[in-house]
Chains A and B, each alone.
Chain A
Amino acid sequence: MIIIDDIYKRYKTKDGPGKWILNGISLTIPSNHNVGIIGKNGAGKSTLLRLIGGVDHPTKGSIQRKTRISWPMGLGSGLQPSLTGRQNAKFICRIYGHESDLIDRIDYIQDFAEIGTAFDEPIRTYSSGMRSRLQFALSLAVDFDVYISDEVTAAGDASFRKKAADAFRNLVGKSSLIMAAHGESTLKEFCKSGIWLHEGKAYWFDDINDALIEYKKSELNHQIDKALSPKLEHQELSGISKEMAEVFQKGLTLLNKGLDGFPERIGHEEGSHAIMVAKEIGMNLANIGVIKNLGFTLLPNKKPLLIKYNPVADQYVELYDVNSQCVKAIVSSQ
């Protein structure tokens, strides 16, 4: 069990202390429980993993871990560049007390990392792929109760990624996993629960799917706010996936061509869902005539939509499908 008690973290910058990356986080991670950490870039996923792994210390607060926890496995550091892979491997096995079966473990590392004769070359001659493969093999060779993985499954080529995933599957029952990954499927496969990091706070979800939905909702909200801000216009699409952006753009182009005959013209486009729903809840399509910008994003699965209009902001309408999967229409009136 890992008990995180009200931790705060900020890094020193050139101009004094930086902003709080983690701003008061309390969590209890049960033993034998795989947890995924979700959050956008810079939300503090790696920072939190480093703190849990004991590589770094919180600015305030404490973390109790009465269990053997790995260092963040995807971490590029921890290897001495002037020493060979074998020497580094020996060192790590030794500090973790695997002196008696050192040779077996070194063989395992050499076999798993698949770096061939380079194992006896200095680390500085390694490519970044070789480095991360070795790093991954090293962490697997040591016995831990909890393995921390920071985007590790993204390292290496397809076959190595498969091997890594298999290794993770083998850990089930013996050890647990705390991981951060961008790949949704990876998280869903390995993790039972989720932690969503957002603006310095952490939110625990017993089910990883809930965490993912909450995360995506917030992400889209953010994107929409950005798209609606007068400075950025609607072209600002960073962060939205390519397919989504294409749908979005298509809809906008159609709209710009004029609203006459609009529903018919996009009748076969994905955006028609938004219009249909708008109709259903009684939004007069005539009103859309005065709307200058109508953008929308749709997930590939075309499920029924539920509409949520925000009368206070009177700026945009949020659309969710019945599973609260994030599907959005942006309606800004000017």
Chain B
Amino acid sequence: MNNLRSPLKITLAVWKALFLREAVTRLSTGRAAWLWLMLEPLIVIIFHLYWYSAMHVGSMYGMDIAIWFMLGFSGYFLFTRVGNQCMNAVDANQTLFSYKLVKPVDTVITRACLESFIMTVTISLLLTSLVILGLPIKVADPILAICAWIGLGLLGLGYGLIFSVINELIPEIEKLLKFIMLPLYFLSGVLIPILSIPRPYYDVLMWNPIIHGVEFLRISFSNHYVVAPNLSLVYLYGFSLTSVFLGLALHVKFAKKLVKP
């Protein structure tokens, strides 16, 4: 009885075990699953690049269009992938809750870590391949780049934490959420540059925290990229940290309801 482990030690052991387990399932289910994880953003980028270059768009507000796309999509994919993986974490890991050391929130957090890790590897590989292709990539502000990247990851975690609880309590929400998230693609400054949006709509769109993250990511990679007005890292972090805390609070409040008998 005196050799009980401390709660922190247990949690860290659980996170490590979950992380390794998730990594195995995520990277090994299906043929060359890891390859598809990398290829998916690449294919999307190449597809849009082809489409834009057909319209003779070579650069976007002082940034090469390929880099502009790559950063935009990577940032956006970081949010959606972390968000979606986290959202389904509780449901997918129900079997594990028969070990009482594993709490639903652990599965969400480890999935966020794994997914951000995969996306970080992906963006690094994409950047490297663009450099090899001869594109002039220079990180103007590495700290800002890391801040924007982490901010987007946290945003995904907050979203995932909140909806992993809500979807378990009210399963219908998930279907509704798919419709709501569909136009987000176009409203996050990934495809359509935010600067091209006229004033009254611009201010409305700026409520979307993803735009802040994506734009700062681009800014950090160039000295010449036009900085959109009203961008704020404080807003991005305020939004993401609030949603993370709200999500954690929901997990505490409904911990018992998340485990299905």
Contacts and interface: CB of A to CB of B under 8 A. Distances in A.
Interface of A: 11, 31, 50, 53-57, 66-69, 71-72, 75, 77-80, 82-83, 87, 90-92, 94-97, 99, 145
Instruction: Please provide the 4 A-B residue pairs with the shortest distance between their CB atoms, ordered closest to farther.
Output: A54-B100, A94-B17, A78-B98, A57-B256
Nearest to B97: A55
Contacts of A71: 98-100
B13 A94 contact: yes
Nearest to A81: B95
A57 to B, nearest CB: 4
A163 B99 CA distance: 24
A181 B13 CA distance: 33
13 contacts: A56-B261, A57-B256, A66-B1, A71-B98, A75-B98, A77-B98, A78-B98, A82-B25, A91-B17, A91-B18, A94-B17, A95-B18, A97-B9
Interface in B1-39: 1, 4-5, 9-10, 13-14, 16-18, 20-21, 24-25, 29
A71 B16 CA distance: 20
B101 interface: yes
B95 A78 contact: yes
A78 B101 CA distance: 12
A149 B160 CA distance: 36
Nearest to A12: B261
A5 to B, nearest CB: 17
A116 B247 CA distance: 44
B95 A79 contact: yes
- The A interface is mostly helix, strand or loop, or mixed, namely loop
Contacts of B5: 97
Given A11-B261, A57-B259, A82-B29, A94 B20 contact: yes
B4 A66 contact: yes
Contacts of B1: 31, 66-67, 145
Given A83-B24, A95-B14, A95-B102, 5 more contacts: A92-B99, A94-B16, A94-B20, A95-B99, A99-B16
Interface of B: 1, 4-5, 9-10, 13-14, 16-18, 20-21, 24-25, 29, 95-102, 256, 259, 261
A78 B21 contact: no
Contact of B96 (A72, A78, A94): A78
A79 B14 CA distance: 16
Contacts of B256: 57
B3 to A, nearest CB: 8
Nearest to A99: B13
B100 A55 contact: yes
- Of residues B25, B97, B98, B102, which shows the largest number of chain A Cβ atoms within 10 Å of its Cβ? B98
A121 to B, nearest CB: 14
A87 B21 contact: yes
A56 B257 CA distance: 10
A45 B261 CA distance: 14
Contacts of B101: 95-96
Nearest to B14: A95
Contacts of B9: 97
A78 B10 contact: no
- Of residues B5, B29, B96, which shows the largest number of chain A Cβ atoms within 10 Å of its Cβ? B96
Contacts of A56: 259, 261
B160 to A, nearest CB: 20
